[in-house]
Amino acid sequence: MLNTQPLSRLIASQAETYGKRTALRYRDYNKGIWKDISWSEFARRARATSNALLEWGVGEQENVAVFAQNMVENLFVDFGCYAIRAVSIPFYATSSESQVKYMINDASIRYVFVGEQYQYDIAFRVFKMCPTLKRLVITDKSVQKHPQDTMSLYFDDFLALGADDKHAAEIERRTNAMQEDDLANILYTSGTTGLSKGVMLTHRMYNAILKSQDRALPLTDKDVVLNFLPFTHVFERAWSYWCIAKGCTLCVNLRPADVLRSLKEVHPTCMCAVPRFWEKVYAGVNEKIRTSSALQRKMILDALKVGTEYNVKYKLRGLVPPLGLRMKYKLYEKTIISLLKKQLGFERGNFFPTAGSSIPQEVETFVHAAGINMVSGYGLTESTATVSCDCAGKTKTIGSVGRLLDCIEIKFGENNEILLKGPTITKGYYRKQEVTDLAIDSEGWFHTGDAGYMENGELFLTDRIKDLFKTSNGKYIAPQLIETKIVVDRFIDQIVIIADKRKFVSALIIPDYPLLEEEAKRRGIAFKDRADLCQNEQINQFYMERIDTLQQEFAHYEQIKCVTLLPEAFSLEKGELTNTLKIKRPVINENYKLQIEAMYKE
């Protein structure tokens, strides 16, 4: 049952219900084991956090920042803030020095909770450039403080400040005084262009999204959830709060690179993910199939063919499969499909929400064929995550992003732009009224910048309107549509389409280098390094042949005519990706302008 207590009282209320039952789990890297934290202990530490913040004089609706990877302490800070009407502002753990400086100054932050050495070093360096900043609290005990640092303390020492519950009366007063329109969070968008904007999320918005989400999907207090996406991301944040309100066990994955290991250790029933995760799973399984014996390959491919027929053609559409197909699927489900899910860590799966960008249809079909209940969805920071998702008991079409939550109103504006209204939609951006006025029109509709359409009750996305390219021939190109189609090729790790104001479509490609190097050796192609491999005419022709096979369904003017292979991946460090790993097209265009111009030379 959903606990509908406000966030300010939620943890204490759940502790009364579940007591010593496990609320949170985290990996102890020193001992190599997962440790449990009970609901009672969760409540105790959140309460100590509230007391310690009051000891430092944190005011009502004051902004407090968390700059860390996923850690259980992030949740103590969040709910410790909510109980005293403070505002929690999460920073992405990969944020740069300039981004952190900007956010601290924009939100006038006095206290920042930092996670590991990287976050501490950045926060310490910006200290002198942030007039409001007073203290840092360090979560990781192994962090080495700077010799001149007299303003930081470790998290355990911070908690000790609130151990005696001396501010109990003030906590109770503030909890009672909490208003639904109080700010709960300010989430700074990672921003594919320009400076980040602080999206304001209120307690009313969370209250609405949790109730609406609960009516759409079958989550229970028996579910074990792996937290893989950053808590900073609204998708993981709103999802985690829903899981907490349902009494689930949250297994907090600290290091994103460890997710496959964590899956096999935790065996979650649910986990949020972005399409990129499933693309990697899809590529990994295909590689395993390719390197299997002829008999194994035949059996796996047949199992996936039967799984596609059973799950995609019949079950997702609400149809009853024929008896022969049911029997064949049940056999594979107990053997090959079961083994495949177990190897991936999904054998106990309930459902796995996926959103953040377009899901390649081949990948989505594969996941369902493997008997994994992927729940496709769509949302934004400004909508407190979910706008639409595949709903339990309703039919589902591959390629859609599900059905609208019952609290959302939608209409389509110019160029089929999706416009939204409802109690989960933000009232605007922190201290940026002009930007707010551009995003929310006079009738209260939020302009998403996404284009789409409704069909048979399901929402389909087409592209980001601002990302539409217009070629010099006057044709409009949707780059994400092309990228989503091409990136499923196992030899391609990343791809960026170039077409705006150009005569034809081209692409920058980051190859999957282990596979490409293996292929080059098989073909007898000698190379000194990856840069040399990228220049090889035979290799470039190999890529164009593979792309031509994938892009046959596109109109001639949409098809890629030329590619450039790059020896290094697009990266956060070079400013080419946002913190949510979305491509920053203006930066890519600038960083690779010589390579791009070379593709368009007469």
**Measured between alpha carbons, how far is residue 294 from residues 285, 301, 366 in Å?**
15, 11, 20
| DSSP for residue 270 | B
| Helix and strand numbers, DSSP H then E, in the chain | 22, 24
Copy the structure tokens of residue 148: 């001149």
Q: 555 in helix, strand or coil?
A: coil
Which pair of tokens denotes residue 488?
A: 């499923």
Rounded mean pLDDT of 89-102?
A: 91
Question: What span, in angstroms and rounded, lies between the C-alpha atoms of 36 and 39?
Answer: 10
SS3 assignment, position 131: coil
Instruction: Give dist(CA 54, CA 167) in Å, integer.
Output: 7
Residue among 507, 516, 495, 512 at smallest CA distance from 559: 507
- The residue-averaged pLDDT of 438-466 equals 92
pLDDT at 379 over 50: yes
Q: What is the 3-state secondary structure (H, E, C) of 305-339?
A: HHHHHHHHHHHHHCCCCCHHHHHHHHHHHHCHHHH
Q: Is residue 171 pLDDT above 80, yes or no? A: yes
Distance CA 499, CA 468 (A): 9
| CA count, 13 A, side-chain hemisphere, 591 | 19
Length of the chain in terms of residues written: 602
For the chain, report the end-to-end CA distance as a whole number of angstroms.
Answer: 66
Domain 468-599 CATH assignment equals 3.10.250.10 = no
CB 562, CB 509: distance < 8 Å: no
**What's the rounded Cα separation, in Å, for the pair 36 and 455?**
45
Chain center to CA of 395: 25
- DSSP letter assigned to residue 186: E
What SS3 state is found at 232?
coil
Region(s) of the chain under CATH 3.30.300.30: 468-599
Span 464-481, average pLDDT: 79
pLDDT, averaged across the chain:
93
**Local confidence band at 278 (pLDDT 50, 70, 90 cut-offs):** very high
Rounded to a whole number of angstroms, the CA Rg of the chain reads 25
pLDDT in tens, 513-525: 999 999 999 999 9
Tell me the average pLDDT across 78-93: 97
Q: What is the pLDDT of residues 229-272, one digit of tens each?
A: 999 999 999 999 999 999 999 999 999 989 999 999 999 999 99
How many Cα atoms within 13 Å fall on the side-chain side of residue 259?
A: 19
Q: Give the DSSP letter string of 35-63.
A: EEEEHHHHHHHHHHHHHHHHHTTPPTT-E
Residue 508: per-residue pLDDT:
96
Mean pLDDT lowest for which of 17-31, 55-69, 181-195, 424-438? 181-195
The pLDDT of residue 468: 75
Q: How confident is the model at residue 194 (pLDDT cuts 50, 70, 90)?
A: low
What pLDDT band is residue 190 in, cutting at 50, 70 and 90? low
Of the candidates 162, 155, 197, 194, the residue with the CA atom closest to the CA atom of residue 68: 155
Instruction: Measure the CA–CA gap between 474 and 589, rounded to whole angstroms.
Output: 20
3-state secondary structure of 65: strand
Residues of the chain with CATH 3.40.50.12780: 7-266
C-alpha distances out from residue 337 to 260, 304, 332, 364, Å: 18, 8, 6, 16
For residue 191, name the pLDDT band (cuts at 50, 70, 90).
low
Looking at residue 24, its pLDDT comes to 98
Provide the token pair at 565: 């292979």
Locate all alpha helices (DSSP H) within 56-136, ordered by sequence: 72-82, 97-106, 117-126
For residue 145, give the DSSP letter: P
Chain segment 540-579, per-residue pLDDT in tens? 999 999 999 999 888 888 899 999 999 999 988 888 888 7
Give the H/E segment covering residue 104.
helix 97-106
* Cα–Cα distance measured from residue 180 to residue 184, given in angstroms and rounded to the nearest whole number: 9
Query: 3-state class of 221 per DSSP?
Result: coil
- Of 584, 585, 562, nearest to 572 by C-alpha is 584
Cβ atoms within 10 Å, residue 172: 11
Provide the pLDDT for residue 195: 64
pLDDT above 70: residue 192: no
Give me the CATH code for the 7-266 domain, please.
Answer: 3.40.50.12780
In sequence order, the 6+-apart residues with CB closer than 8 A to the CB of 502 are 469, 471, 472, 600
Determine what percent of the chain is predicted with pLDDT higher than 70.
Answer: 99
